[in-house]
Structure 1
């Protein structure tokens, strides 16, 4: 250890032996500027990359809108896929789904729509597209209707979910809910002309393609007893309609065979309400009062709001000579559903038998309008093909029957159709 002794004051100065550091002016300053330059370069690169990415996404967004407006689905698919690679945006997935759906690539389209959150941009639109694929392509109406109800809970004004729900209620003979949903559709201005025809034909509703459609439902949903039951009902009704339209021995034999197969497949002591409805319709058609009486004893309390079950009671009471009871039942049917022209016609008979000839004549006049209209509506290939003249007649009948909401709804729809047809393109 080296040291210096200061003999003058007696202190000792100790050194470490390490030479002092020489500070070179300007070195720290250059290092500091170098670091600043690195940071700035990174910022420039980052901002430039962000700007390039944002510009690319904006261009793809505009391109998707333009391609969709031109219905250029293959190129829209390419642009949308590029967008999803740059950004997993809900709108990008929506456009991809639309391009795939329009090219009939339904499974892939549904997967794309599933990536669009319901609460985000295009969320409701994507959900409606999924609903349509599920209902019409996958033939899974129960799943589709659950989605429709969820969408209507969010927004009762949505057109497509309401219309699918109405169609499903009509196809599955859910008359009480059908009446309610059509009236809600009128309130929200999402009603269609065919909805009024469903209501008019409510007492004996059938579809030309009902058997075919419900057969696909039953096949796609083998675990659904409800859909299998609905398919069986359509099968019997279709055979019955054909035999009534062309009562040849061959068609009559087919109807009797199909009817017997239906009866053999159900528990006649405890039929489901849908099965009970058809059995009562058939018993009334056979003029089988005894069978109808036994079946009416099985009608559940839940049918109290179904106008057709009140019609069955009215018919049975008339056959039993209880005209007062029949009139009461028919009035209840008409209170629930004023368009029930068959109930009105049968009530006029009960009124006449009860001695009230004046009211009987009044009700029969209104029922006659419905009867004539029924003949023409049954000739339609599809409810959607009803002419403006037929709809005007239906509105007139609804007005005479006292259902002004239905009459006004039909006239409003007609005005919309006329204004659309006269609007310059």
Structure 2
């Protein structure tokens, strides 16, 4: 900090140069904009430039940067204690948050919860719990999935570059089936057929502990799992004694117009993983599931030094209050509807638009070459760069990198949202016109 503030504040360019010499290359950066302060859906960089944030820390601050209720809860907890390690000296707000999640997570059965620190940790612990509960080893995931960067979660992630490239052999007993995406020619029937082939050719379903999937794929491109597919997976799991894990790390906490995306389906998972939006910007993750399944691990087999940190737990209590009090599920549906309508109005003028999709306010636009099914990542990246030049932060995603995802805080003010939509439209038009010239 002394280096940073010596003399005049540094520029983004100067900090970028310091960053290059101090931080490992493997930590990728979407922008070279260094944040100084933030409020709700706006961020100001160290040079005083203002940006509208349509990334929200990758769906973390669904309740906005520094929501007053979250900040108040954190300050109160700071005045009491910051850490004891729940496994050494437990505390009530951990128990209370577990009770709240047990009632909110989908599933009409008794549930229990554990807390950890990151989404990858939550997914790894879900696998541990599933293996302990079933006595089986194998895990089935899907193409395009993103479940984390640790070795176990990396093996389940369905995208090689940049997540798996160069890291050697993956953990064994992880298998992948194609995720149904009709836009890419993969129907529900085809995906289920390939899953059946997997069970015939590669792994006996009697060896499978769990099938894991995102109700809406995040990094994979914001593709929503069809209801028929989710229903079929539940039936397959029940038939073979397999547990169904819903990875709600990115979809959770009002983003899809429901507190959890699985509420859009008529079936419930056995285990649900969550993180990101749970604590409004503070590190906290959780696994909630069937009580008898969650109790399968021996005492000491789950947890961690910082697992369920009281600061993050206090923030999460406030986040759940804000979601209810400010009706953020309804707000997500409203904002997503407006955004998709605006994007639909551009189809006739921007031939690169291949698809517009997403439940609630978990929306995306996919770009192909005009009159083609060939992915167009250059167009997506150019739109992202053009928008950033006009003060709007966007993220790309998708196996081919040709998708722009929209993840602003759900609490974004109407006038700032309207400003952002104008920038999105202008950026897409500018890039399309340049491509046609």
| Length-normalised TM-score, structure 1 | 0.31
| Length-normalised TM-score, structure 2 | 0.30
Q: Which has the higher strand share?
A: 2
Task: Considering Cα pairs closer than 8 Å and 6+ residues apart, tell me whether 1 or 2 has the greater RCO.
Answer: 2
Q: Which has the larger radius of gyration?
A: 1
Q: Which has the higher helix share?
A: 1
